[in-house]
Amino acid sequence: MTNKTFTMIKPDAVANGHTGNIINDIIAAGFKIEAMKYLQLTQAQAEAFYAVHSERPFFRDLVNFMISGPIVAAILEGENAVENFRNLIGATNPANAAEGTIRKKYAVSIDANAIHGSDSDENAAIEGNFFFSSFERF
Ligand code: CMP
């Protein structure tokens, strides 16, 4: 079944020059790009996006990191998209990420972990709608 997920290439990976390689890995894995934009989040936007983590001890560091530089946000379409994309990017903590995954290749730390992937179909829809309107999708 083809469905959708949402991703962000995070500020560390953009700043370290990995944007092109990461997009290449995503396309090579068979995902189609439905929408994509390059932007820098405001503090209010980052807090809203990660509101589900607002009570976690890492929330402040996460928000500060995510507003520290530009990101690339995208909606991706592919077979079993949420699960297959999470397999492509690897474990949240790059120290635990499998060989060949995007986080293993490009991430720096658990906050600077190169890339985000939605954890459910429901969150993929919420997160995609957070960044993109209907006329920005192809
Ligand atoms: P992400 O998939 O974008 O979702 C929340 C982010 O919080 C996660 O990636 C990590 O970059 C960051 N984070 C920092 N510390 C933790 C932690 N202990 N557990 C989960 N996520 C963490």
Residue from 45, 64, 92 whose mutation best tests the ligand 1 pocket (most atoms within 8 A of CB)? 92
Whole-structure pTM over 0.85, yes or no? yes
Residue from 8, 10, 52, 62 whose mutation best tests the ligand 1 pocket (most atoms within 8 A of CB)? 62
User: Residue 106: which of 6, 37, 9, 4 has the closest Cα?
Assistant: 9
Phi, psi of 41 (to 5 degrees): -70, 145
How many Cβ atoms from other residues are within 10 Å of residue 45's Cβ? 16
Annotated catalytic residue within 31, 116, 118, 127:
116
Domain 2-131 has CATH 3.30.70.141: yes
pLDDT tens track, the chain, 138 positions: 669 999 999 999 999 999 999 999 999 999 999 999 999 999 999 999 999 999 999 999 999 999 999 999 999 999 999 999 999 999 999 999 999 999 999 999 999 999 999 999 999 999 999 999 999 999
